[in-house]
Structure 1
């Protein structure tokens, strides 16, 4: 049975060629995402007509007369109504408010026509030519409040040929953009449920705790105090259950039952671990890593020697 595709909204400003590349890639059988909305602050954007012709819902709202926050809120309302879990910016030239960016942290991506961190902002091809660079290119990155400064997800370098103009270089870079963006978006939307990524996220938080170490126990990554008790495991398809889960210590059977009753999809009783542990599914996506870090810290405190617990004011 095929996995459901992750819904994505695309914000455009003009012709929408990168939006088209994302959409046509989504028609491939193995693509993990689908485009559920194309939105713009420019009602005349050519990409809106293309999206509509392809049967993709569209939305346009001019920003004139609206504050940045008001416009972002209206755009976001359409994104949420469409059920999108990620936003891809594709030629969307309006700067987004810090509040909007913060709400979509890690779930909003952009493509930029340079090899970042070189040449953020505009006129990238001309700047690369004038600097005497051997290559231009494109970058896909997560969106942060700092312009074109988010973590990189991928790049393609494009040679600058003798006699190149900004226009001729831009035309070749655009080909590279159309190859890079769908691949990076596909990797991003599946990362939240990738066992390797989930284990790495748990590892980063667990090993940040005082005197924590990692071993393999019962075939699972296991975290404990050095030469001491264990406070967390990551179960990956344990005995073929098809789940990825964080296992942490709790107070006992009453708390275990309460958690499972409150959210039976997310919480379950881990086999062989008894009443003092709870399993928290990670493979459902949309994980709150601050909350999961708090679970790890609490579990760590339950087994940490008093001298260590005092470090974190437990």
Structure 2
């Protein structure tokens, strides 16, 4: 199943077009399901419509940043979007919006970050006497153009270059770089190795935690004690990647499955004291996973060890 991506634009949408046409390949791991804009007159919207992609646009003028971003977020969630790609989206995002899409939103910027964040990147590179301009794809964080860089393409600055001429060549590089980087990013964040690493980092942060193999799965327990979590990958051919954690019993298990049957399930052979939480749906809330692991650890931790953890939390 391809990852569902929304692209946010403000103008011509040439990078959006590059992403859209790359997504038509059968081997591409993502599909474009929505193109949104803060500019109803953005030319890229017409192209997206012609290609059969759902579009949404609303002017941001007269709205607070938080209110407008909440409106955008509502559209993204209504379209079951898993990842967001910013492509010439000329809006500074609210911290709340960025937090909702942590590790699931990327941007392309026309410089070799961390150089020349913000605007006028080509002019600044030329005036600095740089030999290279270029472009970068990065994960979006609250600070402007400051998230982890996923990939870059250098573009030579030639004698007599103007910002416009350099921008034109950089745009060619952007159209090559963005689709490939987005494809690699969504494939990575859905891969079993990546998901296990995320679970391992959170589980091993618990006091006296260790990792072993049990039932053919990586599992986490208290040293020489009981297990509080399992990482399940296609266990018994169920095609799921999931975290198994301890719960209070049948009632909680039934309530969770009734609340979200796509995410929660009863893991075979584990009984009513465990719940499976799928990690392969593309929208994992890792803060919630950390809390599940903490509660599961507390359920099997010796009283003295649990008390020490509670005391540390209080401090």
1:203 Cα deviation (Å)? Answer: 0.7
TM-score (norm 2): 0.87
1:11 Cα deviation (Å)? Answer: 1.8
Which residue number in structure 2 is paired with residue 312 of structure 1?
309
Q: Aligned partners of 1:83 and 1:173: how far apart in 2?
A: 32
Which residue number in structure 1 is paired with residue 104 of structure 2?
107
CA contact (8 A) 1:192 1:286 kept: no
Q: Does 1:169 align with 2:173?
A: no
Q: Aligned partners of 1:96 and 1:313: how far apart in 2?
A: 36
Q: Which runs of at least 4 in structure 1 moved beyond 6 Å after TM superposition?
A: none
Which residue number in structure 2 is paired with residue 69 of structure 1?
66
Which residue number in structure 1 is paired with residue 13 of structure 2?
16
Q: Aligned partners of 1:266 and 1:56: how far apart in 2?
A: 27
Which residue number in structure 2 is paired with residue 59 of structure 1?
56
Residues 94-136 of structure 1, C-alpha deviations (whole Å, 9 max, x = no match): 2222233233333322110112122111122232233343332
CA contact (8 A) 1:223 1:233 kept: yes
Which residue number in structure 2 is paired with residue 234 of structure 1?
231
Moved more, 159-168 or 242-251: 159-168
Which residue number in structure 2 is paired with residue 138 of structure 1?
135
Q: Does 1:90 align with 2:87?
A: yes
Q: Aligned partners of 2:51 and 2:271: how far apart in 1?
A: 53
Which residue number in structure 1 is paired with residue 275 of structure 2?
278
Which residue number in structure 2 is paired with residue 117 of structure 1?
114
CA contact (8 A) 1:38 1:59 kept: yes
Q: Aligned partners of 2:293 and 2:73: how far apart in 1?
A: 32
Structure 2 unaligned segments of length 5 or more: list them. none
Which residue number in structure 2 is paired with residue 291 of structure 1?
288
Secondary structure of the 1:171 match is helix
Q: Aligned partners of 1:284 and 1:144: how far apart in 2?
A: 22
Residues 55-83 of structure 1, C-alpha deviations (whole Å, 9 max, x = no match): 33333333333333343344444434444
Residues 231-279 of structure 1, C-alpha deviations (whole Å, 9 max, x = no match): 2110111222211111222334554455445544333333343443332
Aligned length: 311
Matches within 5 A, 1:115-264: 115-264=112-261
What is the alpha-carbon root mean square deviation over aligned residues?
A: 2.5
Which residue number in structure 1 is paired with residue 297 of structure 2?
300
